[in-house]
Each structure stands twice: as C-alpha cells, then as structure tokens.
Structure 1
Amino acid sequence: MPHSVSSNDSAPRDGDEEMLPDAPPAAENVDTAEGQSSETNDNKTEGNVKLEDLFAEDDDDDEFPASSTVDVKMASSPPPVQAAPVKAHSGIDEETMLAFYQRLFPFRHMFQWLNHGIMPSPDMTNREFAVFLQNEAVLRYQSYATAELFRKEILRLNPTRFEIGPVYSTNPRDRKSRPGIQMKPVAKELVFDIDMTDYDDVRTCCSKAEICHKCWAFITMAIKVIDNALREDFGFEHILWVYSGRRGAHAWVGDLKARQLSDDRRKALAGYLEVVKGNDKSGKRVNVRRPLHPHLARSIKLLEPHFNQTTLIDQDIFVGEQQAERILSLIPDKKLADALRRKWDSMPDRASTSKWNDIVTLAKTISGLDAKALKDARIDIVLEYTYPRLDAEVSKKMIHLLKSPFVVHPGTGRICVPIDGRAIEEFDPLAVPTVTELLNEIDEYDAKNPEGPVPSASDPAAEVGSVPDRRMQDYEKTRLKPYVDYFRSFVANLIQDERSGKRERGEEPTTKTTTTTDAMEF
C-alpha cells in the first residue's frame, strides 16, 4: 500500500494554513452556508479594559485498532455534502489519510478533551468543527454527539484536516432546521498562535516556511514566556501546547475560567501579552513603562540567555549594515550612536557579540550620558528581538477556528503533536514524524513481530496470577506513542479537575457562562 507524501507545500498564506472566516456575530441572525461566513466587524467600539484591572476514566482504548483488524480501503458511504471551495489541497493521497484516521488518530481522547468528561455533554454536542475535504471544500458547523460518531464521520469524510471552533448555545447543525433560533458562542478554549514568519526580520538562518534548530529557538522562547505568564499571572493550569506541523505552535488553555472568558476579556488578555507592536522596521517596536511590570521583569530573566545565544551568536543579527543601523536607531544617545557607527564602519565584519559589548564599553567614554536611559534601551532591544510575537487576532474572539491537534499538516505531512510546555527545550520539530513514516513503522513492527495466539488465563503454561496480554495498539508501535501518552495524561488531569470543581460547586456540567468573582475577574 503506497503511503507517499508530496513535497509540494502550497500554503496559500504566510501562516501555517489558510484561515477560514469567523462565524457571523451572535447579534446577526445570519443563515450561513457551509464554507462561507461574514467577517465580524473588528472596528466596532469594544469595552475598554485596563491592564491593571486584569487581576482583581476510561483506560480501555479500543479506538486504535490492531493491524489485523484494519481495512484501509475507502469507506463505501454516501458522498459528503458539497461545500463552497477554499484552497486547502493536501499533497497526501486519500488512502494514506484514511489509514491514519483508522489506525492512529486518538478520537476518544480528543472527544474527552473537548467534552471535558467521558459522558457526552453540550461542551461537545454544541461544538463547531470545520472539516476540510479532499475536494478542497470546507464543511462548517459540523458537530458530534459521541466519540464514536466523531470517529465514524471523520472516517466517512476522510478530510485533509479539521479545525475546532466554539461551543454554541445550541447545536450548530440546527441553525437551518430551526429558523429564528439564536445561535451564539458561549465557551471556547483561550487560544494563542505563534508563527515563525513573524520573526523573519530577526532571523538570518531561514525565512518564510523554512525552519531549523537555530531559529526554532524563537518559538521555544515564546512558549516559555507565554506559558509562564498564563500560569503565574492568571492562574491557569491546563495549557496544551501543540506543534503546528511546520513552523509554529498553538496554545489551548482549557481551564473553565478561560473557556468562559468574553471577547473583551480575551482582547485585554491578548493585549497584556502583546509587547512587540507594529511592522515599521525603522521605528521602535517596544515601548513599555518603567518600572517594568513584574511580568516583563520575569520575562527578561528568561529571555536574556536566549538573546545572548540565539540573537547574538546563532543569528549574528547585527553583522550586516542594515541590522547594525537598526540597533543604532534604538540607542537613545546620539553621541554614543555616532561613536558606535564609526567603529563598526571601520570593522564591517565585527561579530554581533562584540558590537553588543561595544555599547557598554564606548558608553563609559562619553560624559553626560544617561546611564539609566541606556540600560532601559538595552532591555527594550532584548524584548524587541526575543519577546513572543503573537497573532493576537486569534486570541481575541471566541468564534475563531484553530487547527485541531493530531491532524496532519497538508504541506509537510507532519503530525500536529502536543508539546510539553514545561519541557520545551527537549522538543525537536524536525524529529516529529510524518504520516507516511508512522504507517511504515507499523508495517515494520508487524513484520518483525508476527502476532501469535493471545494467551488465556486458563492456559496451564501461563504463570500463576498472570493476565492475558492485550493486543498492542498501532500507535504504540510508532514514534507517535509518547505524544499520545502525554495527551492522555493531560486529558485525565483536566477531567479530574473538572469533576472536583463541579463537586465543590454542587453543579452539573454546563456550557452556560456564570457570573463569578475570582482571579480572572476583570
């Protein structure tokens, strides 16, 4: 069975994949066709929120079939409903995609993650999915009541990928069958999107879709800073980081108080984490108040070692004339900037580490220089070159769709695997397996380990007290295993906390927002 993956990466935008338009505003009773929707008006006046006011199981996993039980032929089910086309073509053949969904995709634990429990609830029943079909069409407003229906429908449609939206006040599939119904978003994970292309002006090793270990360090820095802020400043615990499959990462914050945030609070939180602003390379992009906010002071301690290694050594960012002028424009003292320019002009190949040290060395020779202003400028430079660069629009609106974990990136064939944010230094994006590699690993394992009869507890040859071996699941035969195991543990912890919280409040599962006063009260 062929499992080839095309090397053609035809991404339609600078990000990891084409972005669907968001759902229409809740106030508008718009009956939108699949694959089409009106953009929300982001220019409307929103409530101003001051930043200083921000702080007032089941282990039987039969969803992964063993190799002997898999039929990799296309399902003979009715063709999917046609939808408005968008450019979402995958270079991976349909047979390979179907084999991946049948043998490797963790449907049950994906369901439990989004459902926040094992028993079906409105958190999943009223959740929107956007499914990207093989014919380049997209089905909007899909929903799945159970894990089994979720699995069956994805196998039937065999999409190139799917994206996850909010939980609505009613089942999104009912928007046409029940005219006049008001469908509004009531819950959604707080999400963040980090894309390497936003660092193209500060990396010299790669550009656009390309990445390497040197520039991936920018994503590592971003995850460290954002994860730390979400935990320390906002008290969130259930933060799932996911590799985008090519050159970025997404964060899904699953705590109840995060899921229930309104759009104005999401916007304020995104603004709290937005430090590098604007795209004008000739102007200063970091302007922060003094004394530094505790979040920024803490971030500087995390970022300075990365600045020294990544920016100065690995990227050698200040070696060129244009980048040298860029850093000179950020020096507040004109006499110092002129002295540095003369020195660097006489030594055009001077390394970035030496140029960075020159700032302090020459500053000592200039009388009347404001030492505090220079120190602040150096901190601002570190922030500008290393602080996370977020696509803030992704975080601001509950109705925004984001690519699901564990789907296949259509350009690279790599799996969008979860990342342990607290062990981000150990993650290697270039080692993430492709769908073709995983399917080949199953075949290789089965060839080396032909299955024999499953031992019975009554077998006299069996040891006393032994339990019959269970059949090994296909994902366990591949490099996907540690990622699935991490995800399963993450979901189990989330569900345990959800149960504990509901017992303490004496309430049943609900998707309705509640008015409470807690650490997230704005």
Structure 2
Amino acid sequence: MLAFYRRLYPYKSIFGWLNHEHAPTKRFTHREWAFTLPPDTYVRYQSFADAEDLKKQVCQLNPTRFEIGPVYSAKPRDRKTVRAANFTPQLRELVFDIDMTDYDEIRTCCSGADICKRCWAFIAAAVHILDHSIRDQFGYKHLLWVYSGRRGIHLWISDKEAMELTDEQRRALVGWLTVIQGGKEMRKKVNVRQGSKPLPPGIQMALEPLGPIFHELILLDQDCFAEEEGWETLLQLFPDPDVVRGLRAKWEVKPLSSEAKWEDVKNMTKAGKDQKTHDNIKAAMEDIVLQYTYPRLDAEVSKHRNHLLKAPFCVHPKTGRVCVPVDPSTIDRFRPERVPTVSQLLRELDEAGASAGGEAAAEHHSDWQKTSLKPYVDMLDRHVAALMDETRRAKRDAGPDRSW
C-alpha cells in the first residue's frame, strides 16, 4: 500500500476536485479527513494545507483507507482550540450511496458480498435513473460517480448550490428521491401515491425508462418470479384478493417463466371487472416496476453534512480494487472485476520502469500515467476542469470579494 500511496495515488487531482481552484482555499484547508489505521484505529478531524501536505501524512500513516468529510468553519486539526459552537460544518458535497446488498431480496444470481455481471445491472439501472433525475429535477451538473471497490457505487455532487445545502434541505431532497423504503420484513416498499392516483411527476418520468429495464433484468435475466417464493412475493403486492386468487390458481398448476406470469398480470388488467379494478391493478404494476428497479438509496448517507465517505482512488481492503470514477453513460459496460488492483498497478509500474531502462522520476507525480489507472484519473481531471471553469466564471461575475 505504501508504494501505491507514494507513486500512484492522484493527490493533485483529488486536491483540484475538492478545492475547485489551483491555489488552496478553505474548501480544502478546512476539510475533514479521517484515516483507518491497522489493526483497527480510526483517526478523525485531520486537515491539510495542500496536496503535498496530504500526501506526506498519508505516506506517514499508511492507512488501509481514508474518508472525506465536510468543510468546517475552522480547520479540523485546530478544533480543540476553538469553541464548539464555532466549529460547524459549512459546505459538503451532496453524496449518495447505493449498495448491492440492498438488492439481495430480489437478485437471484448472487447474495451478500458477491457480485457478477448480471446483478451489476441493478447498480447500472440505479445510476441511469438517479443521474437523469438529479440533472433534470435539480439542475445539478457536476456529478462524480465512483465505484466503491467491491459491490456498490457512490455519487458526489459538487455544484455550489448542492454544497451549500443545509441538513434540513438535504433531508427534503433525499426524501423526494427516495421511493424504496422498509426492511426485509416489509413486502410493499413503494408508497408514494394515494390509492390508485398518478405517481408524482418526477417518479412518473423515471417509470418510462424503467419499463424496458424491468423486462430485461427482472423478467428475463433474473427471472425473479419463476420460483414460488418469488411469485408469492409478487402476489402480495396486489391489493385485490380476487386478482391474487385468480393468478395463484393458474400459477400453481404448471411452472411458468416470469415473463409469462407478467403477461398474465397484464391480461388481468385488461379484463378488469370495472374501472376501479383496472386502475388498481395498473397502479400496482407501476409500483412493482419501481420496487424491483428504482434506485435503493442509503438515505442516511445523504442527509447530514458531517457524514464521511470513502475517498475516490482508495483501495478496498478485501478486493484490492481501486475505487475509480465511472462514466454514467457507459455504466452498462462497466465490469467491477476489470477494475485495476494495487498488485496489478505496481506490476505495471515495474514493467514500465524496466522498459525505460530503470530510470525513475524523482517525484513520481505522474507514475499513474504509466498504468491502467490513467483513464480513471483522466476522467477525474476532466471533472475537475469543469469545476474550475465554473469557479472562474463565478468569481468573474461576483467581483473581487470571496469567502471560500
């Protein structure tokens, strides 16, 4: 790990992403960092002057991972010298966390920590929907998606308006985006409408792209309703007992695919005995599509400015994979098992050094360019460039006065 931190971790890019400018500002100097040290020590309220200061401390501590928190009103390392009332979080990226384990009750290919190409499609669907919803409904532009290193994905939103949100505003925003609620004991997890009334506009917009995803992922690939446990769960999501009895009677007679069972549900809608029954079944079907395909958010991660989240380009201790940025437009083609690992990167670095005749740069600032980490750092750098462009425009428009 120490070789990775010394030669490959992109400190300059991380600095630019958090700071939004080339020269250090409070967005970086007043930022909290937390380190996990072996065997099980957690060190919080660290802060640094610039990228080199961060690098020096990381290499000295050699942590198993480190996390990023908010920008405080004072430097976190000086918090004991200021009154508690004067040490408060001021700015924080709006963050989201989506974890594969929240899909365990519906995915049929893997469970727990395991992940494969098939169940990654749940994460891909969540990225598509959440990325579009946030851009369309809230107008945010600076979204950075980061693979967690094992079985999930994080989203960091760096727009000025997002960073300035209060905890109350964050709770309201997350509440608006949260559709799936309840633990394993709760069968129906979608309760965002009154009776059979239309869905809220934002959720209705998401429903259209989720239809094909539901068909391909839930009905065909995962075949979620093929086994009795799966289709019994499905039946419990319909409010009309006559509909449930009719479907159960048919499905108990002979095995049917999930696709065939869903066709039966559609036919029940067409054959509804009255308009109310028709509307109830249609509403239940929409809620089912949402329950099986809409993003499952860990809402607590997003509600508070003082929440800490693992830094991009950290290494997951169990997989050895680097937490790399992900392009939402190509998320369907992303494969977690192809993400570079520390051992792979160090091997690539050794091979690059050997091919160069053993010459080594004195500073190692760009060693990542010689490895398969390069496209991921380049992706972050493009994100940073857009942030810095916007900061320059905002400063030009606002004049010389600035506090952050």
Normalised TM-score (structure 1): 0.73
Separation in 2 of the partners of 1:238 and 1:421? 12
What's the CA shift for 1:265? Answer: 0.1
What's the CA shift for 1:281? Answer: 4.3
What's the CA shift for 1:354? Answer: 0.7
- Note the 1:100-111 alignment, pairs <5 A: 100-111=4-15
| In the alignment, structure 1 residue 403 sits paired with structure 2 residue 307 | no
Question: In the alignment, is the contact (CA less than 8 A) between 1:190 and 1:258 conserved in 2?
Answer: yes
In structure 2, what is the equivalent of residue 489 of structure 1?
382
Structure number having the greater helix percentage: 2
What's the CA shift for 1:356? Answer: 0.7
| In the alignment, structure 1 residue 209 sits paired with structure 2 residue 102 | no
Question: In the alignment, is the contact (CA less than 8 A) between 2:71 and 2:91 conserved in 1?
Answer: yes
Compare 490-499 and 294-303 and name the one that shifted more.
Answer: 294-303
Question: In the alignment, is the contact (CA less than 8 A) between 1:336 and 1:366 conserved in 2?
Answer: no
Aligned match for 1:479, one of 364, 372, 388: 372
Separation in 2 of the partners of 1:473 and 1:186? 33
In structure 2, what is the equivalent of residue 162 of structure 1?
66
Separation in 2 of the partners of 1:452 and 1:406? 26
What's the CA shift for 1:474? Answer: 2.2
Q: Alignment partner of 2:252: what SS?
A: helix
In structure 2, what is the equivalent of residue 375 of structure 1?
282
What's the CA shift for 1:373? Answer: 1.8
Query: Which residue identity lines up with residue 263 of structure 2 in the other structure?
Result: N
Normalised TM-score (structure 2): 0.94
Question: In the alignment, is the contact (CA less than 8 A) between 1:130 and 1:138 conserved in 2?
Answer: yes
Aligned match for 1:352, one of 243, 254, 258: 258
Query: Which residue identity lines up with residue 140 of structure 1 in the other structure?
Result: R
Q: Alignment partner of 2:320: what SS?
A: coil
String of CA shifts for 1:93-130, please: whole Å, max 9, x gaps: xxxx0100111100011111111111011111111000
**Against the structure 1 CA distance between its residues 339 and 272, is the aligned structure 2 distance closer, same or farther, given a 3 Å change threshold?**
same
Separation in 2 of the partners of 1:184 and 1:278? 32
Question: In the alignment, is the contact (CA less than 8 A) between 1:336 and 1:363 conserved in 2?
Answer: no
Aligned match for 2:242, one of 332, 335, 338: 335
| In the alignment, structure 1 residue 248 sits paired with structure 2 residue 152 | yes
Larger radius of gyration: 1
Question: In the alignment, is the contact (CA less than 8 A) between 1:282 and 1:326 conserved in 2?
Answer: no
In structure 1, what is the equivalent of residue 219 of structure 2?
312
Q: Point out where structure 2 has 5 or more consecutive residues left out of the alignment.
A: none
What's the CA shift for 1:152? Answer: 1.0
What's the CA shift for 1:136? Answer: 2.1
Separation in 1 of the partners of 2:154 and 2:358? 39
Q: Point out where structure 1 has 5 or more consecutive residues left out of the alignment.
A: 1-96, 455-470, 512-522
In structure 2, what is the equivalent of residue 272 of structure 1?
176
In structure 2, what is the equivalent of residue 59 of structure 1?
none
Separation in 2 of the partners of 1:281 and 1:179? 45
| In the alignment, structure 1 residue 432 sits paired with structure 2 residue 325 | no
Separation in 2 of the partners of 1:397 and 1:377? 33
- Note the 1:130-145 alignment, pairs <5 A: 130-145=34-49
Question: In the alignment, is the contact (CA less than 8 A) between 2:70 and 2:90 conserved in 1?
Answer: yes
- Note the 1:36-51 alignment, pairs <5 A: none
Separation in 1 of the partners of 2:360 and 2:139? 51
Query: Which residue identity lines up with residue 489 of structure 1 in the other structure?
Result: R
In structure 2, what is the equivalent of residue 230 of structure 1?
134
Question: In the alignment, is the contact (CA less than 8 A) between 2:272 and 2:278 conserved in 1?
Answer: no
In structure 2, what is the equivalent of residue 503 of structure 1?
396
Aligned match for 1:297, one of 197, 200, 204: 204
Percent of aligned pairs with the same residue?
A: 48
RMSD: 2.0
What's the CA shift for 1:200? Answer: 0.6
Separation in 2 of the partners of 1:271 and 1:351? 35
String of CA shifts for 1:215-259, please: whole Å, max 9, x gaps: 111111111111111111101000101000000001000001100
Separation in 1 of the partners of 2:388 and 2:2? 29
Q: Alignment partner of 2:375: what SS?
A: helix
Compare 180-189 and 263-272 and name the one that shifted more.
Answer: 180-189
In structure 2, what is the equivalent of residue 15 of structure 1?
none
